[in-house]
Chain A
């Protein structure tokens, strides 16, 4: 059964849009095109018309509804907190339900089914190597995010030979006086950046926590959500909730902003009783702050040569108000000289599967970050979401800059390691 909300369920909040236009100032797709169809207000007007029967899912409506990163930037600044990203998700699901996975979903499967197409792309270096892609489950968001034509010059992550689950056991025992915490790794960390996952686990372990990393966990469902595949979202949600039933965990940590938005925020909106699961979901930066680790770090002797690092706000954390903790961590780190950059909270442009469908637009939205980054003089840009890391590195490479995009946990691990670089 499909447990996602449908458009009808949003009728009330759609009516809350007062058409003020405030969202224009915060919507990345609007700022790029300056067209009303691209902004939240326009999409809400379309949603209202759909509900009233004033229009059907015609082609132009689909184009406008696709022109959305589901970043939620509009939501946090909207005076009435109209959840446009969720409403767009509901319309995309309706489109998929009516017409099948016509848009992105189909594109992906034909591509995966065609050797010739695949080979062409691999030569261009645009695609995850198919051999290694085999190691990534069919339902993984990584597959939805990258293999698409028109992305020949995209920087893509390498798939690791040994993924996180190959590297770590399911249960990593800590001190007996400390609770067990769950770790939801997500596709990007599991398959592309397993070392980030290893850092997470070893830091938690070092603090005494036992870590539960159930191998039955799956993709969080954000890319499926973005491409309107409601059935898959439901399936993944149920599997993930079940996966963590294996042990009694105090919290379920994420080190990926999107996963946090997925298994935390989105599951909460679903028509299912996932409450006991979602209530435990917590971003690693918030969790680590609560352990008092930041004070310990701040007490450490500062390194003589610190790296100048700035921070990029992942949308899925920003809209939950998690903007302070990552910065507090960076400020506390002995190996880091933190500098703020202009437009730190502007979306990187990845947007679930947005960048597959609209790579040029995605690149143009991302390019806006390059300026602030350059001005900050930072040699690294840290963030808390692997999706953003991929996109940021792509932006940096296209801008010809010498900056490295890293995860906060990499910097933290370096600070805690005995070897100083």
Chain B
């Protein structure tokens, strides 16, 4: 990159925060999709004003800017597909305020999700969104992707907790949306527009979040089923009975095969599906709720029910769930990891369709995820060294997504579009809707400098990743 530009960047953020060596480009070229694109320069910003000045410089010279948090994204959102300035926000780590009277928190974008959770929980408060990556993802990244997690079935996703934002726009202006109040109808709701915009409309530099009182207690149970139908029907029956557990996670038979060898809890061969159900609230309410759930699901082919009596036992149950992603590689070396979502009553239909696609194509598909909100992690496990496998996967994915759309679901519940799913955008959204979205992008970012090539690009390959995580 031009020495003059580097000098200007150094002037803004200081020499320590401008990285130009070739190896610095290597260490900022990837995210959890495992794709690699080299940036031209890496800048670490520590203040809103620095972010704004970097963006203004980029806008003037028409250089791309890629906001980057922890780089844990599953859709390639932070990748510099067209080179440019990777602008890292991980050093903006201040929790500016936790307000127990108004149940709000104000944070900088580099704060780690779980760190905020720990701090508010010390005060008896609660920030519910819990992506599996919460120990390392940034809140800025969570806002940009509208991250969700197991607890979202009861508590909603990131967008349900964002009250207000400070944003640096693609032209380098600093704007403020929403505020500290739950109610606010002044002007357009730009807050909602920025949440989930994948860093294409602006760079979030401050976030005002809504908090809840921390639930007094929780109780976890693990139920083993003879069939996946039994588990799917149980989910529908629980929700149908107007009970919303805090989490309602499921695993299918293929998943259980992967975790059986390392599971801390014995999983017999007959076990073909698992539900992990957690309820929370007043301690006195929990036992009756668990009993009711047991009653509702008892006719669906249950092999065993384990109710955690202590924190350790509950951790043991969650360990079963956490073992899933790393153990998938037992099936096949290459993984295509989708996070589809269908209306929750349609989970049994979707599972059946996935099983059919798997048999039709002779390709293992491992499914697990957040049954309670219809969000299924679909993992197509293949060995790409086999001739023609890549094309086969293309067809499998097409069928999966078509089935999702037919059930009025969505092709991504949590991970976003980025580059990984851009080519499927048209399957879910009609052309007119997409063009309105693009006009919003044009209005905010006339020079297309902010995170270009994301969401709307159709030329990226849908490549696999090595197995290991979800």
* Chain A contacts to B: CB under 8 angstroms: 15-16, 18-22, 24-25, 34-37, 42, 45-46, 49, 54-55, 58-61, 64, 79-80
Q: Which of B85-135 contact A (CB under 8 A)?
A: 88, 90-91, 93, 110, 112, 114, 133, 135
Within 8 Å by CB of A18, from B44, B133, B466, lies B466
B residues near A19, Cβ cutoff 8 Å:
30-34, 71
Given contacts A16-B466, A55-B26, A60-B24, contact A36 B71 (CB under 8 A): yes
Distance A36 CA – B26 CA, assembled complex (angstroms):
10
For B467, give the chain A residue with the smallest CB separation.
A18
A residues less than 8 Å from B72 (CB atoms): 20-21, 24
- Chain B 316-353 near chain A by CB (<8 Å), digits 1 or 0: 00000000011001000000000000000000000000
Chain B neighbourhood of A58, CB < 8 A: 21-23
Residues of A within 8 A of B405 (CB): none
Closest to B90 in A: A34
Q: Complex Cα distance A331/B53, Å?
A: 57
- Using CB atoms, name the residue of chain A closest to B68: A36
A46 touches B27 (CB 8 A): yes
Check B63 for interface membership: any CB of A closer than 8 A. no
Bound: A35/B46 CA distance, A: 12
Q: Are B136 and A21 in contact (CB under 8 A)?
A: yes
Complex: A80 Cα to B468 Cα, angstroms: 7
Once A19-B30, A19-B31, A79-B468 are accepted as A-B contacts, the answer to whether A55 and B23 lie under 8 Å apart by CB is yes
Measured in the bound complex, the distance between the Cα atoms of B31 and A230 in whole Å is 33
Interface flags, B127-148, vs A, CB<8A=1, else 0: 0000001011100000000000
B454 within 8 A of A: no
Q: A19-B30, A19-B32, A20-B468 are in contact. List 9 more A-B contacts (CB 8 A).
A: A18-B468, A24-B70, A24-B136, A25-B114, A35-B90, A46-B27, A58-B21, A59-B21, A80-B326
Could you tell me the distance in whole angstroms from the C-beta of A46 to the nearest C-beta in chain B? 6
State A58–B88 Cα separation when bound (angstroms).
23
A391 to B329, CA, bound (A): 40
Distance A20 CA – B466 CA, assembled complex (angstroms): 11
Q: Choose among A22, A35, A59, A79 the residue that contacts B136 (Cβ–Cβ < 8 A).
A: A22
B91 touches A46 (CB 8 A): no
- Contacting residues, chain A, for B469 (C-beta < 8 A): 18, 20, 22, 79
Compute how far the CA of A58 lies from the CA of B24 in the bound complex, rounded to whole angstroms: 11
Interface residue tally of chain B, by bracket?
35 or more
Interface contact B93-A34, CB-CB below 8 Å? yes
Q: In the assembled complex, how far is the CB of residue A254 from the closest CB belonging to chain B, in whole angstroms?
A: 29
Q: A18 touching B465 by the CB < 8 A rule?
A: yes
A22 CA to B19 CA, complexed, in Å: 23
Give the CA-CA distance A64 to B28 in the complex, in Å.
13
> Does B29 touch A at the CB level, under 8 Å?
yes
With contact pairs A21-B71, A24-B70, A34-B91 given, residues A79 and B325 touching in the complex (Cβ less than 8 Å):
yes
For A34, give the chain B residue with the smallest CB separation: B90
Give B7-49 as 1s and 0s: 1 = Cβ < 8 Å from A's Cβ atoms: 0000000000001011110111111111000000000100000
Knowing A16-B468, A34-B91 are in contact, say whether A64-B34 is a contact too (CB < 8 A).
no
- Leading 3 A-B pairs by shortest Cβ distance: A79-B326, A18-B468, A60-B21
Minimum C-beta distance from A92 to chain B (A): 15
**Docked complex Cα distance between A21 and B27 (Å):** 12
Task: Tell me how far the C-beta of B333 lies from the nearest C-beta in chain A, rounded to whole angstroms.
Answer: 10
Chain A nearest Cβ from B81, distance in angstroms: 16
Instruction: Supply 27 A–B pairs (Cβ within 8 Å), ascending by A.
Output: A16-B468, A18-B466, A18-B469, A19-B34, A19-B71, A20-B72, A20-B468, A21-B136, A24-B136, A25-B112, A34-B91, A35-B90, A35-B91, A36-B88, A37-B23, A45-B26, A45-B27, A45-B30, A46-B26, A46-B27, A49-B26, A58-B22, A60-B21, A61-B23, A79-B325, A79-B469, A80-B326
Question: B468 and A37: CB pair below 8 A?
Answer: no
CB distance from A247 to the nearest CB of B (A): 40
Contact mask for chain B residues 430-470; partner A; CB cutoff 8 A; 1 contact, 0 none: 00000000000000000000000000000000000111110
Give the Cβ gap from A363 to chain B, nearest Cβ, in Å. 19
CA of A232 to CA of B29 in the docked complex: distance in angstroms? Answer: 36
Query: Which residues of B lie under 8 Å from residue A79 when comparing CB positions?
Result: 325-326, 468-469
- Per the bound structure, the CA–CA distance linking A24 and B90 in Å amounts to 11
Query: A89–B91 Cα gap in the complex (Å)?
Result: 28
State the Cβ distance, A75 to closest chain B Cβ, in Å. 13
- The distance in angstroms between the C-alpha atoms of A46 and B30, with both chains bound, is 12
B51 to chain A, nearest CB (A): 16
Residues of chain A lying within 8 A (CB to CB) of residue B465? 18
CB of B40, distance to nearest CB on chain A (Å): 16
Q: Which residue in chain A gives the minimum CB-CB distance to B74?
A: A20
| Pairwise interchain contact B28-A36, C-beta atoms closer than 8 A | yes
Residues of chain B within 8 A (CB-CB) of A15 are 466
Please name all residues of chain B whose beta carbon is closer than 8 Å to the beta carbon of A35 when the two chains form the complex. 44, 88, 90-91
Cα A60 to Cα B21 in complex, Å, equals 7
How far, in whole Å, are A79 and B467 apart by their CA atoms in the complex? 10
Chain B nearest Cβ from A368, distance in angstroms: 13
* Closest Cβ–Cβ distance, residue A277 to chain B (whole Å): 30
Residue ID in chain B nearest A79 by CB atoms: B326
Among A21, A22, A59, A64, the one with the most B-chain Cβ atoms within 10 Å of its Cβ is A21
Q: Would B32 and A46 count as touching, CB distance under 8 A?
A: no
CA gap between A369 and B33 in the complex, in Å: 34
Interface-central residue, A36, A46, A55, by most chain B CB under 10 Å? A36
The residue that A37 contacts in the complex, of B24, B32, B467, with Cβ under 8 A, is: B24
Q: How far is the CB of A302 from chain B (nearest CB, A)?
A: 25
**Residues A18 and B27 in contact in the complex (CB < 8 Å), given A34-B110, A58-B21, A58-B22:** no
CB-nearest residue of chain A to B86: A36
A21 to B34, CA, bound (A): 11
A45 to B469: give the CA distance in the assembly, Å: 17
Which A residues are in CB contact (< 8 Å) with B30? Answer: 19, 45
Cβ of A315 to closest chain B Cβ, rounded Å: 19
Is the CB–CB distance between B21 and A36 below 8 Å?
Answer: no
Contact A64 B31 (CB under 8 A): no
A44 (CB) vs chain B CBs: closest residue: B27
Decide: B28 and A49 in contact? CB cutoff 8 A.
no
B27 x A64 contact (CB < 8 A) = yes
* Residue among B33, B70, B329, B468 with most chain A CB within 10 A: B468
How many angstroms from the CA of A280 to the CA of B469 in the assembled complex? Answer: 36
Q: Are B26 and A21 in contact (CB under 8 A)?
A: no
- A-side contacts of B33, CB under 8 Å: 19
Contacts A18-B466, A19-B32, A21-B72 given; indicate if A36 touches B136 (C-beta within 8 A): no
Give every chain A residue within 8 A of B110 (Cβ-Cβ): 34
- Expressed in whole angstroms, the minimum distance between the Cβ of B39 and any Cβ of chain A is 11
Contact: A25 with B23, CB < 8 Å? no
B294 to chain A, nearest CB (A): 33
Of the residues B135, B325, B326, contact of A25 by C-beta under 8 Å: B135
